[in-house]
Structure 1
Amino acid sequence: MQAYRRFDSNHAFAYAVSLAKKQNKELIVYEGLRSDYPWNSERIHRFIIEGMYDNQTRANELGINYWSFVESKSNPARGILKEISKNASAIVTDDFPCFIIPEQTNKLAGKINCALFAVDSNSILPLSRFERAASAARILRIWIHKEFLKGMPERTKSIWKKEDLLGLNHNTKPPKGFGLPEDLNSFLQGLDFKDLVLPAKGVKGGRTEALKVLKSFVSKKLQKYETGRSEPNSPETTATSGLSPYLHFGHIGIEEIFQSVLNAGPGGKWNPERLSHQKPGDREHFYSESSSTNHFLDELITWRDIGYLFFWKDKPYHINLENLPDWVKTNFKKHQSDSREYIYSLEEFESANTHDELWNAAQTELVKTGKMHNYMRMLWGKKVIEWTNTYEEAFSILEHLNNKYAYDGRNPNSYTGILWCFGLFDRPWFPERNVFGNVRFMSSDSTKKKFKMKSYLEYIGELSGTSDSLFP
C-alpha cells in the first residue's frame, strides 16, 4: 500500500488476492511510512498513521497478514522493501501518478527479482482508456460520458469477508521492527520533522473517519451542493464534502463515494440504466435526476480526472510551468517585466502578512485547518502570481505552502489546481491585464461583491483567536 491505504474497494488489493489464489501463495500486505518524505510534518504523519491503525483493525477482522512499518531514528527504513521482497513471487502496488510514488515504484522494480504489478485505482474509469491528456474540462467531460455509455467499468469488491481470504495467511512473521507505535503522541514527539506543522484541531485520519465524513455529507449537504458549495464559509455551513484528504491518502475509494452519492439521489438505489443518453457532456443531467448530484459527480470525476490524466501520461514530470499551454507561455513572456504594485516574500505569505484581508484569511485557514475553501484557493493562487517577482517564484511559493500545510497536497489535483491559476485548462480572457495578460484575473474586491464574506471572516477570526473587529 503506497497511495490507496485500505482493503475494501481497492483494485490493487483485489488483484493481489486473485494472484495469491492463482499461484497458491501466501498474501502479505505491507504498509510503510518513512519519515524523510518532502514536506514531512506531524500533521501529515499523524493522519497517515491513524489510517494504519484502522487498517490493522480491519486486517485482524479479515485474518490478513498485515505488516506495518513506521520509520524512526532507531528503526530506519532503508532497504526494507528489497529485504522483505526476497522471497516474493510477485509484488502488487498502486499506480499513482504523482509525488514520490512513481519514482519509488520504478526504483523497486529495478531492485527485485520478481514481477511487479502497478494497479490503477485512481478513478471510476481506468486512466489507460484515454489516449491523451485533455486540454479542458469540457473536452474530458464528453470523453468520460461517452466511456460510461459504452458500459460501466468493472467495480472492485466493495466489502471483503473473512471467508473470501481463507488460505492466504500462512502466518509468516514480519522482520524485527515492524508494527505500529503503542503511544502515537510520544512516538511523534521523538521524530525530527523538517516542517513544524501541527495536526489541525478536530481532523482525524483513517477509514472509519472517512466513512463518517461521507455519510454526513450525503445526508446533510449533498442536495445543497449546487448552490451552496461556492459561498466561502465555515466547513459546517458550506456544502462541500470534506473528503479530499481521505481520497488523497486512499482511506476511501472513489467508487464507493460514487455509489453512495447516486443511491442517495431521487429514485433510491441507482443503476447504470439511469444514465442520460441524450447528450454526453451535459453536466446538469448525465448521472442523476438531481442537479446537485450531477454537479458533485462532475467535480469528483471530471475535475479530479483531468488532473490525474495530466500526470498519468508523463508521470511524474509536470511539477513546473513547462507544460502550460503555448498561449500562456507567450503571454507570460510578454508580461514578465511588468511592474508589481506589491511584492511579498515567502515568509510574509506564510505568516499571512499581506495588505489583503481575504488573502490573509485564506492563508490562515490553510495553516490552521490543513484545507481551504475552493473559491478562496483560486483567489489565493492568483494573488501570489500578482505579488511575486516572477511566475516561477510564484509557482514555487504556492507549491511549498500547499504541500506543507494542506492535507490533500502532493496530489495531481493540488498541482493542477495551482497550475490552473497560471492558465492550465483555461482559455484566454479579455481585456489584457498587467502581469496576467490574457490569463484569468481574480480580485478580492470582486469576491466581496460576489459573496457575503462576513461569516467566512468571522470563522477565520475564530480560528486565529483574533477579534472580529479585525475583519470588518
Structure 2
Amino acid sequence: MNPRRVHILKDVPATRGPVLYWMHRDFRARDNWGLTYARLQALRTGQPVAVIFCLAPEFADATAVHFNFLLDGLTQTVHALRQQNISFFALTGSPGLEIASFARKHGAGLVVTDFDPLRVKRRWHEDLLSACELPVHEVDSRNIVPARVVSDRREFMARTIRPKIKRLLLEFLDEFPELPAHPHDWPTAPPEPDFPVLRSKIRNDAPRQNLLVEPGEQAGQAVLHNFLKSRLPLYAKRNDPNQDVCSNLSAYLHFGMLSAQRAALETQSCGLAGEHVDSFLDELIVRRELSDNFCLHTQSYDTEDGFPAWARESLHKHRNDPRPVIYSPEELEKAGTHDPLWNAAQTQMLRSGKMHGYLRMYWAKKILEWSPSPAEALRTAILLNDRYSLDGRDSNGYTGIAWSIGGVHDRGWTERPIFGKIRFMNYAGARRKFDVDQYVRTWIAPQDDASI
C-alpha cells in the first residue's frame, strides 16, 4: 500500500509484540487501509494482529440510536475478522487511555489508529500518546487522497481543492490488496465481545427512530450496488426531495461501514458515464474531502470563529436586525414552526434519521433566520443534526452547517437583512424547484400542515 497514507503520530523505536489496530472511525473488515497496514506490519515482524474498539458512551451528542446502529454493524465485522484470524477486543471508557492500558498489558509493539480531524478524536489520540511509549501510526482510510497529503492548509472552496485531489487520484485510487488469513495466532483465546454489556452502558436518551437503514458492511455494499444499478442513471434529479435517486450511502460512509474508495472504484467500473456520474463522484470525493480539510485545519470548525472574515463581518453588521419570528431550540426540535416545509424536513430527520441533502441547506438557513443570533443558530443546528441525524457528529455535517449559516466555502451574495451577504434560500424558491406540497404530505399529516 502507498506509504503516504501513513502519518507517524509517535516515532519511537519499535518493540517486538502484537500489532494493534484501534478502530474508531472506519468500522469495517474489508477495504480498510488502517487494518491493511496493521496486518502488513504484523506480517513483517511475525506477530499477531488484533482490532480494538472502545465504546465512549458520552461521545458528542450520539444517542442510543447511533450506538445501536454501530454495534449492530460491528457484530458482522467481528465475524469477518475471525475468518481472517484477527482477534477483536471491545473495551469501554476513555478511549485513548483504555487503548494505552490494553497495549501495555498485552506487550504490543505498534498501535495503528484511524485518522479523524474532529477535536474529540484528537484528544483521544493525545491521551494515547501521553499514556504509552509505543510507536503510534495514523492511517487515513476515510479519504481516497489522505487529508494530510492533499493540502497542508484550509482550502478556500471546492474549486481550490478539486485540482489538488485530481492530480493525486491516479496515485491513490488503487485497488485494495487481498491478504490471506493472518498466519500468527493471538497468544490466548480472545473473549467473546459482550455486546449486551456494551449496550447496557449506553444512555437511553432518545426515542427509537424508524431508521429504515440496515446496519453493517454487507448492507452498505448492497445499497451501493442498488444505487449504481437503479438510481445513478437518474442522479441528475437528486435535488428534488420527492425523487428517490440519492445514494443513501451517508450513514455507511459516516460509520465507515463502506469505503468511499470502494464506492468510487465500483462507480468507475459500472459502465456509466456523463454528468450524473461526474456529479456523484465529485460529491463522494471532493466535497467529502473538503469537509475533512475544513475540520483538520480549522480548530473552531463548530463556532463562528470558523467562518470566513467577510461572513463574520456581514453577520455582525446585521446582528440586531429584527427577526420575523424566534423559535426556541425545543420548538425547533419538535418541528413546531409556521413553515410546513421546514417542519416536514425536521420530521423526516426525527423519524428516519436522515434528511434530503437539498433540504439540509434550507433547514439550516431557516434556523439562522429564526434565531436570536448566528451563534445561537449554529449551536441549535449542530445540536439537532448530531442528535437526530444518523450521519451526525461528522466533518460533513459541521462543514455543511457552516456553509449554510456562515458562508464557509462560499462567496458573498446580495446583502439582505439578518443574512447579510450569506446565500439566501426561502420557501418560494423551494416551490419553484420541486413539489413542496407532495414532500410535506409525505412527512406531515394534513391536519398538521400549516399555511406559510
Unpaired segments of 5 or more residues in structure 1? 267-288
The structure 2 residue matched to 1:294, chosen from 259, 263, 278, is: 278
Which residue of structure 1 aligns with residue 168 of structure 2?
147
Contact 1:429/1:440 (<8 A) preserved? yes
Which residue of structure 1 aligns with residue 59 of structure 2?
37
For the residue of structure 1 that corresponds to 2:25, the secondary structure is coil
Which residue of structure 2 aligns with residue 437 of structure 1?
420
Q: Which amino acid aligns with 1:54?
A: Q
For the residue of structure 1 that corresponds to 2:171, the secondary structure is coil
Contact 1:217/1:241 (<8 A) preserved? yes
Which residue of structure 1 aligns with residue 194 of structure 2?
180
Q: Which amino acid aligns with 2:188?
A: T
Aligned pair in 2 of structure 1 residues 147, 154: CA closer, same or farther (>3 Å)? closer
Q: Which amino acid aligns with 1:308?
A: D
Q: Give how far 1:146 is off.
A: 2.9
The structure 2 residue matched to 1:125, chosen from 114, 135, 145, is: 145
Query: Partners of 2:50 and 2:145 in 1: how far apart?
Result: 27
Which residue of structure 2 aligns with residue 281 of structure 1?
none
TM-score for the superposition, normalised by structure 1: 0.85
Which residue of structure 2 aligns with residue 457 of structure 1?
440
Matches within 5 A, 1:70-85: 79-85=97-103
Contact 1:46/1:205 (<8 A) preserved? no
Matches within 5 A, 1:239-250: 239-250=245-256
Aligned pair in 2 of structure 1 residues 426, 78: CA closer, same or farther (>3 Å)? closer
Q: Which amino acid aligns with 2:71?
A: I
Which residue of structure 2 aligns with residue 216 of structure 1?
226
Q: How many residues align?
A: 425
Structure 1 residue 389 and structure 2 residue 365: aligned? no
Q: Which amino acid aligns with 2:205?
A: D
Q: Give how far 1:454 is off.
A: 2.9
Contact 1:457/1:471 (<8 A) preserved? no
Which residue of structure 2 aligns with residue 195 of structure 1?
205
The structure 2 residue matched to 1:409, chosen from 389, 392, 401, is: 392
Q: Give how far 1:172 is off.
A: 2.7
Matches within 5 A, 1:47-196: 47-69=69-91, 79-86=97-104, 87-98=107-118, 100-127=120-147, 128-148=149-169, 151-153=170-172, 155=174, 157=176, 159-162=178-181, 165-167=182-184, 169-174=185-190, 179-181=193-195, 188=199, 190-191=200-201, 193=203, 195-196=205-206
Q: Which amino acid aligns with 1:456?
A: Y
Query: Partners of 2:32 and 2:198 in 1: how far apart?
Result: 29
Which residue of structure 2 aligns with residue 379 of structure 1?
362
Query: Partners of 1:343 and 1:415 in 2: how far apart?
Result: 23
Query: Partners of 1:388 and 1:298 in 2: how far apart?
Result: 33
Query: Partners of 2:333 and 2:224 in 1: how far apart?
Result: 31
Q: Give how far 1:248 is off.
A: 0.9
Contact 1:379/1:442 (<8 A) preserved? yes
Query: Partners of 1:469 and 1:116 in 2: how far apart?
Result: 55
For the residue of structure 2 that corresponds to 1:113, the secondary structure is coil
Which residue of structure 2 aligns with residue 340 of structure 1?
323
TM-score for the superposition, normalised by structure 2: 0.89
**TM superposition outliers: structure 1 runs of 4+ over 4 Å:** 76-79
Q: Give how far 1:299 is off.
A: 0.6
Indicate the RMSD between aligned Cα atoms, in angstroms. 2.2
For the residue of structure 2 that corresponds to 1:118, the secondary structure is strand
For the residue of structure 2 that corresponds to 1:221, the secondary structure is helix
Which residue of structure 1 aligns with residue 15 of structure 2?
none
Unpaired segments of 5 or more residues in structure 2? 1-22
Contact 2:231/2:246 (<8 A) preserved? yes
For the residue of structure 1 that corresponds to 2:111, the secondary structure is strand
Identity %: 28
Query: Partners of 2:239 and 2:110 in 1: how far apart?
Result: 46
Query: Partners of 1:154 and 1:212 in 2: how far apart?
Result: 21
For the residue of structure 1 that corresponds to 2:172, the secondary structure is coil
Query: Partners of 2:313 and 2:305 in 1: how far apart?
Result: 12
